[in-house]
């Protein structure tokens, strides 16, 4: 009998919370800087990696936005996403919903078309060459204004067919979801799927706002929901998925040790929790590293692992045919 950790690595699963700019490995940052004739403020790949010692979300975001500044051309966005898809597929990820932050690039003068077309062509290639399904979700940076978010949505609409939904990310505390109620109302009119980061560093109230003001279909992170029993009951009643990112929570000091991670408590509370990598190049691991380290730290069972994989399929924005296909793949892997 395989262990729970071996099972976790072997089974097919969906990844629903990955920032593509957070998949930029230091080696690729250096290669793209060279290709684009840019100087970096780090002497080597090792020096850059050594700077990845974060104390909170903001200390990470400062380095993450600096790393993304090497992305200039369509091929850069394509190459970054392709590198992620190869790693995800090697971890038996069969479906991926990929966040991207257009404002990080358009604010540097990179056209929206360059960003979206580069990423969309990598999704197409992943479908064709890796046999996985892949979609894009456009995230608004919450530290910027509502006006900037509206302008970003407007600029992206010519490429509407290339993304399935919108999200909300960046510095959480001080930027509650309600700041973007009107932008998300417009996005719902456009039939975009709705997600938002809430309850990563921010309080349970931000999760309530994401649910009630933005009308989210998933909560990204949501680990602080456990502080509010009424909220936990409501998340369970709605079967609201939480896209949880254990290694991210560890590296950004949301938890001080993985043995303290709330994943087991979220599952035991009956919530639809999933495992995801968030920014794998910065947090020390892709999907399977997140699964294995969490399983080992919390002594999760084979049943817990299967529940997490089933939850990821249930929470995916795929059509019912694809959901049944992924469920059949999971069932076959479990019994095989």
Query: Hey, which residues are catalytic here?
Result: 200
- Residue 293 contact among ligand ADE, Zn ion, none, beta carbon within 5 to 8 Å by kind: none
- Residue 92 contact among ligand ADE, Zn ion, none, beta carbon within 5 to 8 Å by kind: none
Q: Of 22 and 176, which has the nearer Cβ to ligand ADE?
A: 22
Residues that bind ligand ADE (CB under 6 A): 19, 22, 57, 64, 169-170, 197, 200, 248, 278-279
Which candidate, 229, 217, 315, 309, places its Cα nearest to that of 265? 229
- Residue 74 contact among ligand ADE, Zn ion, none, beta carbon within 5 to 8 Å by kind: none
Q: Which residue is nearest to ligand ADE (CB)?
A: 169
How many whole angstroms separate alpha carbon 329 and alpha carbon 224?
33
Touching Zn ion, residues 277-336 (CB under 5 A): 278
Which candidate, 24, 27, 22, 63, places its Cα nearest to that of 45? 27
Closest distance between ligand ADE and the C-beta of residue 132, in Å? 22
Q: What are phi and psi of 227, to 5 degrees?
A: -75, -10
Site map for Zn ion, 240-279, x if CB under 5 A? --------------------------------------x-
- Residue 97 contact among ligand ADE, Zn ion, none, beta carbon within 5 to 8 Å by kind: none
- Residue 222 contact among Zn ion, ligand ADE, none, beta carbon within 5 to 8 Å by kind: none
Q: Of 18 and 192, which has the nearer Cβ to ligand ADE?
A: 18
How many other CB atoms sit within 10 Å of the CB of residue 30? 16
171 and 142 in contact (C-beta within 8 Å)? Answer: yes
Give 153-179 as a 3 state SS string: HHHHHHHHHHCCEEEEECCCCCCCHHH
Closest distance between ligand ADE and the C-beta of residue 261, in Å? 15
Which candidate, 304, 214, 297, places its Cα nearest to that of 266? 304
Q: Of 209 and 304, which has the nearer Cβ to ligand ADE?
A: 209
Closest distance between ligand ADE and the C-beta of residue 197, in Å? 5
- Residue 97 lies near Zn ion (rule: CB under 5 A): no
Q: Of 79 and 278, which has the nearer Cβ to Zn ion?
A: 278
Neighbouring residues of 163: CB distance < 8 A, sequence distance ≥ 6: 116, 135, 136, 137, 138, 156, 192
Q: Of 45 and 63, which has the nearer Cβ to Zn ion?
A: 63
Q: Of 91 and 200, which has the nearer Cβ to ligand ADE?
A: 200
- DSSP H helices, 23-73, are 26-35, 45-50, 57-67
- Residue 304 contact among Zn ion, ligand ADE, none, beta carbon within 5 to 8 Å by kind: none
How many whole angstroms separate alpha carbon 171 and alpha carbon 191?
26
Reduce the DSSP state of residue 117 to 3 states and report it.
helix
**What are the tokens at 229?**
């029993």
Cα-only R_g, the chain: 19
Closest distance between ligand ADE and the C-beta of residue 131, in Å? 28
Q: Helix, strand, coil: what percent of the chain each, to 5?
A: 60, 15, 25
Closest distance between ligand ADE and the C-beta of residue 335, in Å? 35
Closest distance between ligand ADE and the C-beta of residue 293, in Å? 17
The site for Zn ion (CB under 5 A) is made up of 278
């Amino acid at each position: 009998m395989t262990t729970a950790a071996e099972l976790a690595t072997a089974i097919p699963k969906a990844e629903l919370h990955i920032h593509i700019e957070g998949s930029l490995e230091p080696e690729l940052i250096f290669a793209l800087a060279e290709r684009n004739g840019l100087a970096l403020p780090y002497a080597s790949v090792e020096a850059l990696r050594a700077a990845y010692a974060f104390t909170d979300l903001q200390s990470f975001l400062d380095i993450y936005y600096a790393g993304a500044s090497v992305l200039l051309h369509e091929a850069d966005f394509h190459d970054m996403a392709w590198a992620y898809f190869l790693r995800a597929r090697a971890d038996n990820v069969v479906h991926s919903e990929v966040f991207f932050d257009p404002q990080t690039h358009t604010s540097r003068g990179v056209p929206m078309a360059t960003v979206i077309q580069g990423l969309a062509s990598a999704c197409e290639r992943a479908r064709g060459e890796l046999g996985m399904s892949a979609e894009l979700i456009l995230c608004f940076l919450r530290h910027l204004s509502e006006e900037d978010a509206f302008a970003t949505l407007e600029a992206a609409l010519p490429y509407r067919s290339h993304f399935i939904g919108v999200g909300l990310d960046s510095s959480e505390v001080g930027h509650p979801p309600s700041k973007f109620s009107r932008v998300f109302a417009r996005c719902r009119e456009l039939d975009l799927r709705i997600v938002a980061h809430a309850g990563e560093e921010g309080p349970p109230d931000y999760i309530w706002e994401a649910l009630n003001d933005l009308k989210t279909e998933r909560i990204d992170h949501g680990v602080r929901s456990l502080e509010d029993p009424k909220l936990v009951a409501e998340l369970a009643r709605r079967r609201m998925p939480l896209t949880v990112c254990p290694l991210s929570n560890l590296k950004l000091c949301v938890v001080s040790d993985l043995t303290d991670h709330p994943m087991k408590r979220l599952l035991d509370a009956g919530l639809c929790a999933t495992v995801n990598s968030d920014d794998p190049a910065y947090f020390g691991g892709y999907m399977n590293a997140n699964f294995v380290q969490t399983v080992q730290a919390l002594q999760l069972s084979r049943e817990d692992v299967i529940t997490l994989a089933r939850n990821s399929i249930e929470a995916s924005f795929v059509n019912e045919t694809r959901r049944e296909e992924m469920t059949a793949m999971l069932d076959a892997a479990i019994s095989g």
